[in-house]
């Protein structure tokens, strides 16, 4: 895969520079980005951006837009910068900080993806209910049943529409003495919603 073209949607996990930071797997990335329904000029917020893998994929769809990647850890910010460089994208801006308190310089956004809430699910959803543009969309990825419960609850309370829950279980083939076993990834909950009008 040496000459795999970097600026194409559908980047395999192995292409990202990752360190030890947990990364959204490629199938979940594909579905999450798909559910954002990104337009070319969208302003996108990636909260808890980690390695920046979702930001990179989003930036390939929002070619004339802008992606803000919020991440609290120095290690993550550095990985995001390295991946920006590797994939040669110019519309991602990494922001070291915690959502929503460090979002003060961002006015409104079209799409938001929440990969890590840092215990601030309620505050983030309230902030987004105010700062998402008309036709704005939110996609939340979570692996815990408590954050799943809270995401559903706070989205309803803050008048988000078309709230959709998707649980995805991915298993990958793995060679086992010339046979193919299935190796399971942990199931992920993807919650998507439209901003209420």
Candidate list 13, 17, 18, 34; residue touching a second copy; CB under 8 A: 34
64 binds a second copy (CB under 8 A): no
- Binder among 2, 3, 88, 107 for a second copy (CB under 8 A): 3
169 interacts with a second copy by CB under 8 A: yes
Note whether 159 binds a second copy by CB under 8 A: no
Nearest Cα neighbor of 105 from 70, 147, 64 is: 70
| Euclidean distance between CA atoms 43 and 66, whole angstroms | 5
Query: Residue 30, interface with a second copy (CB under 8 A)?
Result: yes
Taking the C-alpha atoms of residue 167 and residue 24, their distance in angstroms, rounded to an integer, is: 14
Tell me how crowded residue 5 is: count the other CB atoms within 10 A of its CB: 6
How crowded is residue 173: how many other Cβ atoms within 10 Å of its Cβ? Answer: 10
- Give residues 65-104 in contact with a second copy (rule: CB under 8 A): none
Q: Which is nearer to a second copy, 89 or 148 (CB)?
A: 148
- Pair type for strands 132-142 and 109-114: parallel
Q: Which residues bind a second copy (CB under 8 A)?
A: 1, 3-5, 8-10, 26-27, 29-31, 33-39, 61, 135, 143-149, 152, 162-173, 176, 179-187, 194
């Amino acid at each position: 895969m040496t000459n795999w073209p970097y600026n194409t949607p559908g980047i395999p996990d192995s292409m990202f520079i990752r360190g030890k930071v947990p990364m959204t797997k490629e199938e979940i990335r594909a579905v999450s980005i798909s559910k954002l329904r990104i337009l070319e000029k969208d302003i996108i917020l990636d909260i808890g951006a980690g390695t920046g893998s979702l930001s990179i994929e989003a930036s390939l769809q929002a070619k004339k837009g802008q992606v803000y990647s919020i991440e609290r850890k120095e290690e993550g910010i550095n990985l995001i910068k390295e991946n920006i460089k590797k994939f040669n994208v110019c519309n991602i801006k990494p922001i070291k900080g915690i959502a929503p308190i460090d979002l003060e310089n961002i006015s409104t956004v079209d799409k938001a993806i929440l990969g890590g809430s840092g215990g601030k699910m309620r505050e983030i959803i309230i902030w987004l209910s105010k700062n998402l543009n008309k036709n704005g969309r939110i996609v939340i990825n979570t692996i815990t049943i408590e954050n799943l419960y809270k995401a559903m609850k706070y989205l309803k309370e803050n008048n988000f529409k078309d709230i959709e829950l998707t649980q995805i279980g991915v298993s990958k083939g793995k060679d086992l003495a010339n046979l193919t076993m299935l190796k399971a990834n942990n199931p992920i909950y993807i919650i998507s919603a439209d901003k209420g009008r």
